[in-house]
Structure 1
């Protein structure tokens, strides 16, 4: 278990042995692609003819088959209690030593939709809505969600949980609640891979009002530690090449433009962690995330090269050849942190 409590250390992907990395959210295609689209029109833009669908209200709607997420809601009422107990037991384990733990909805790439194996908040709470944050202390467990999911959360949470109706008058934020229920000087644990740099900074500053400290815990994530036996396997479907006739711009041109942007900012490299940005830049598509043709990966683009961090089992000979032609080197997905630290 890696534990970091120094206030000088932030998100693992922001760590570096030197300042040669520029790490920030690259808005592709919104801001980055805007410079391309006046000269490269590689997509269809005629969306004026939108088909209209009218449902026959005299017949009942088709019932969808329950998904794996729904099955979590059908577990025994006692099961979430055992999960909370197991999680709390880890609080006092050697190398951890925390008083509370925050579990967001996101994966390590801040994705809106995530693979089942990363649905940690749903696993620990039983709440399967797409938005929400869980905070567990040694005595209490609370879930924050918005108005879309109040009724669903009421049904899915058992009596061990406090439902925080975010946005309603008088409902505290997660940091306000922690400052209220924890004794001064407490330690609040988070997995730094699941928080953006700004979110971690904001949280750290908010809980510092009661002299609390933010502790970064990873490898493994605490929920992953108690989920071992039944946790779904990570997705491993093959990656595919997005043909140039559909992409409109080849990979070499995209990387060349990005490198010119790096030089303009006096940077020698950028870490790209957003999955849609990686798929767009490399003209690749995947099937790792529901509703999104992306694959789990990180990308480091340097002035003189590029490295794609991805599960090699997903890489077909066609994809390998596609990447080699673009000058992109393959690296194992889980080596991204060591690569950044090495600088």
Structure 2
């Protein structure tokens, strides 16, 4: 949600004073983009066939609008003019449980991210460019669709200011919106009109109209994780966090992010899909730790693990209290504590909710990113070994799947996207220490591959043939690590265009993975290495090149975000960081290509430390063969071929050994066939590789602080 806090003053002026004049300068097509009216199968003339995945939300919108005008239902003396519905739960978690999919319920859009605003006569959805095509398919014609990030499209604040020039009351649930976003939106609205108010609703309006809502909530037990996997006892992590709090001049902290609680206390749960988190809060001070959780989830080994049954509080005790007690306890303890850290936003971490934020008095509130973010991002030696081992087993699962898939396809078995996703998940889950998949598996064939985050469903899945590319993006949650890998394959004879696209994506991935750099280089600076081969042909991709990844935690982990866009605060790399390297190309109505490996940041101790700087590099922990039939070897430099040969040798050694241990003979020979040595020539450097070398030099000269 970091992108939501940037608002353009020029756009505000455009919307309030110059809308008529400036819209005359836009083409009819651009006007439809700016207004959100560029909708699929939503012509005002005639009835067009609707996409099969489209969700009819007409009656839901009608029911919601009745409540907007009903002061008794609102428990407020004044009605609301609009309602803001975000994708978040109480903890601003990336993946939310079925119980918390309120934005999906009211809009029909099932993708991650995206916010909705419903007024008495309009319904508008803002969706990121990665999910724009999906949203256009899923939401019905009652909705306007805004492509977030498009320069023609207004932000939510700008749209509201334009829609309500005489003022309005916009309701939102303060439990489900991060304080940073709420405060920024409120400031933007009130800076233009004191009559535009962002109102905290006393009830959740979506819950009021959601039929059978309570049936979507399930009770699942929490469990603890041994030091064999975490590398540190929870008491050690608590002490490290307390030390950081003292540096930040905070006496205590409220921990709201579920991945931070999972890391801090070595606890896991089953409340959130794909990420083994337990829904909870933690109040951490210099002398106590209190966990707020559904007590029915801690009946097994959790209370014993934290010595919670022992009377009194000690350094090796966690007090466990009912989940709902956080609201009274936080308010009460703030009367004792002199300063309390309330987490603010940091890349993938939106920070604490507005409700939590307001419970801490302003004179005691320390609003800064959680120190736990950086503590857990740097993996300790045990976690690093675990991540490497998990990726070896993950490579085994992928090799076994690809061998099986290609063999059965050649024999004439029917395959569609959904079947591929189900089979990949099955192969992964039989691996040792496998617990779950780390996100919903993406399988996109042909034109579906032009949607960066297309996910197959029973209504959208299409058969797989041998006439286009197939993108497979999947990952696993293991007790010792989290994985995320993308490969693009072709079951027939790829076209020259497909080979060119694949090879450019591969070159970008290799260039980034090969970089050696001083330790003060900003993370976003390396992004151009992956994009340069695509920029050469006027192409790009609408997402970042990389994201941090946790160790049996979230598949997207702060603070690492690889993108040249300076909107987000750029970090420096540290030894022990793990992050993704995932360039892609998406040709609308044609095909797509994406390749993704997880990289580990490692030290380069053999290099001289000039000017007191250390040098760092990357090591690929993902070990899955690339598709040789899609590579134009003539486009590769000797450096690229050498990198591929070294990478393939590591696969043969590490994954091959594990395949033998599992007696996976067919998969072993498939792996050997797909990691054969590539002849390296001594020919002159190509113009393209020269350009990439030049980009390397420019980055190191101008991006180092």
TM-score (norm 2): 0.37
Task: Report SS of the residue matched to 1:271.
Answer: strand
Query: What are structure 2's unaligned runs of at least 5 residues?
Result: 1-51, 309-315, 334-705
Bigger Cα Rg: 2
Out of 143, 151, 161, which is 1:169 matched to? 151
Q: CA deviation at 1:231?
A: 4.5
Task: Report SS of the residue matched to 2:274.
Answer: coil
Moved more, 275-284 or 175-184: 175-184
Task: Report SS of the residue matched to 1:102.
Answer: strand
Residue aligning to 1:327: 317
Say how many residue pairs are matched.
268
Query: How far apart, CA to CA, are the structure 2 residues paired with 1:74 and 1:316?
Result: 43
Query: How far apart, CA to CA, are the structure 2 residues paired with 1:287 and 1:73?
Result: 28
Out of 286, 301, 306, which is 2:269 matched to? 286
Residue aligning to 1:339: 329
Residue aligning to 2:197: 213
Task: Report SS of the residue matched to 1:194.
Answer: coil
Residues 1:329 and 1:228: Cα distance change in structure 2 (over 3 Å):
farther
Alpha-carbon displacement from aligned partner over 1:179-224 (angstroms, at most 9, x marks no partner): 1112423111111122222111110011111220111114x31111
Query: How far apart, CA to CA, are the structure 2 residues paired with 1:104 and 1:185?
Result: 22
Pairs within 5 Å for 1:180-259: 180-208=162-190, 209-211=192-194, 212-218=196-202, 220-259=203-242
Q: Tell me whether 1:261 sits opposite 2:244 in the alignment.
A: yes
Residues 1:231 and 1:159: Cα distance change in structure 2 (over 3 Å):
farther
Q: Tell me whether 1:90 sits opposite 2:67 in the alignment.
A: yes
Query: How far apart, CA to CA, are the structure 2 residues paired with 1:210 and 1:292?
Result: 42
Query: How far apart, CA to CA, are the structure 1 residues paired with 2:270 and 2:248?
Result: 34
Out of 147, 159, 162, which is 2:141 matched to? 159
Query: How far apart, CA to CA, are the structure 1 residues paired with 2:286 and 2:136?
Result: 52
Residue aligning to 2:127: 145
Q: CA deviation at 1:74?
A: 6.6
Query: How far apart, CA to CA, are the structure 2 residues paired with 1:308 and 1:118?
Result: 22
Alpha-carbon contact 1:115-1:235 (below 8 Å) kept: no
Out of 81, 90, 105, which is 1:99 matched to? 81
Query: How far apart, CA to CA, are the structure 2 residues paired with 1:128 and 1:90?
Result: 24
Task: Report SS of the residue matched to 1:294.
Answer: coil
Alpha-carbon contact 1:297-1:310 (below 8 Å) kept: yes
Moved more, 85-94 or 305-314: 85-94
Alpha-carbon displacement from aligned partner over 1:23-65 (angstroms, at most 9, x marks no partner): xxxxxxxxxxxxxxxxxxxxxxxxxxxxxxxxxxxxxxxxxxx
Residues 1:248 and 1:167: Cα distance change in structure 2 (over 3 Å):
same
Alpha-carbon contact 2:54-2:140 (below 8 Å) kept: no
Query: How far apart, CA to CA, are the structure 1 residues paired with 2:97 and 2:300?
Result: 25
Query: How far apart, CA to CA, are the structure 2 residues paired with 1:237 and 1:213?
Result: 39
Task: Report SS of the residue matched to 1:193.
Answer: coil
Alpha-carbon contact 2:222-2:267 (below 8 Å) kept: yes
Query: How far apart, CA to CA, are the structure 2 residues paired with 1:191 and 1:176?
Result: 20
Q: CA deviation at 1:73?
A: 4.8
Residue aligning to 1:41: none
More helix by share: 2
Query: How far apart, CA to CA, are the structure 2 residues paired with 1:297 and 1:233?
Result: 18
Residues 1:73 and 1:289: Cα distance change in structure 2 (over 3 Å):
farther
Alpha-carbon contact 1:143-1:164 (below 8 Å) kept: yes
Task: Report SS of the residue matched to 1:293.
Answer: coil
Alpha-carbon contact 1:144-1:166 (below 8 Å) kept: yes
Alpha-carbon displacement from aligned partner over 1:95-146 (angstroms, at most 9, x marks no partner): 3421111111111211111111101100001111112110011111000102
Query: How far apart, CA to CA, are the structure 2 residues paired with 1:146 and 1:263?
Result: 38
Query: How far apart, CA to CA, are the structure 2 residues paired with 1:149 and 1:296?
Result: 27
TM-score (norm 1): 0.74
> Does 1 or 2 have the higher relative contact order (CA < 8 Å, sep 6+)?
1
Query: How far apart, CA to CA, are the structure 1 residues paired with 2:245 and 2:133?
Result: 48
Q: CA deviation at 1:228?
A: 4.7
Q: CA deviation at 1:151?
A: 2.0
Query: How far apart, CA to CA, are the structure 2 residues paired with 1:118 and 1:143?
Result: 18
Moved more, 257-266 or 208-217: 257-266
Alpha-carbon displacement from aligned partner over 1:225-260 (angstroms, at most 9, x marks no partner): 211534443232111110111111111111122223
Residue aligning to 2:394: none
Query: How far apart, CA to CA, are the structure 1 residues paired with 2:54 and 2:259?
Result: 33
Alpha-carbon contact 2:221-2:296 (below 8 Å) kept: yes
Q: Tell me whether 1:127 sits opposite 2:137 in the alignment.
A: no
Task: Report SS of the residue matched to 1:139.
Answer: coil
Alpha-carbon contact 2:253-2:285 (below 8 Å) kept: yes
Alpha-carbon contact 1:73-1:126 (below 8 Å) kept: no
Query: What are structure 1's unaligned runs of at least 5 residues?
Result: 1-71
Query: How far apart, CA to CA, are the structure 1 residues paired with 2:168 and 2:146?
Result: 22
